[in-house]
Amino acid sequence: MPIYKYMPTTGGCAQCRDGIERLQRLADAPLAACPECGAALERVIGAPQVVAGQSHVLRESHLAKHGFTQYRKVGKGKYEKTAGKGPDTISGD
């Protein structure tokens, strides 16, 4: 569900003056008025949130901690364990 930002068209109270953010479904109707003062609101388009860097990528140290096992292919049908519990090697033979 996206987070929508609403700004008052005129004036507004202390709560809506700088904008209101609401987590809403796409099918939900947009807010028409501030819940506190009743000022008319309009939905404002904002920049999307973008994940940058490698902080969202799982590291081998985190895989084992969360109960996952990771294998790396070392040959045709052969894999060796790089993280987690489980057999050290897996072979398709």
For the segment 24-51, what is each residue's pLDDT rounded down to a tens digit?
888 889 889 998 898 999 998 877 777 7
Q: Mean of the per-residue pLDDT values for the chain?
A: 85
According to the model, what pLDDT value does residue 80 have? 92
Average pLDDT over residues 7-25: 88
Q: Is the predicted pLDDT of residue 5 greater than 70, yes or no?
A: yes
According to the model, what pLDDT value does residue 56 have? 61
Burial of 71 (0-12, 13-18, 19+ CB in 10 A): middle
Average pLDDT over residues 72-82: 90
**Domain residue spans in the chain?**
1-44, 60-88
Lookup: tokens for 63:
């895989």
Average pLDDT over residues 3-12: 88
User: In 48-64, which positions are buried (b, 16+ CB within 10 angstroms) versus exposed (e)?
Assistant: eeeeeeeeeeeeeeeeb
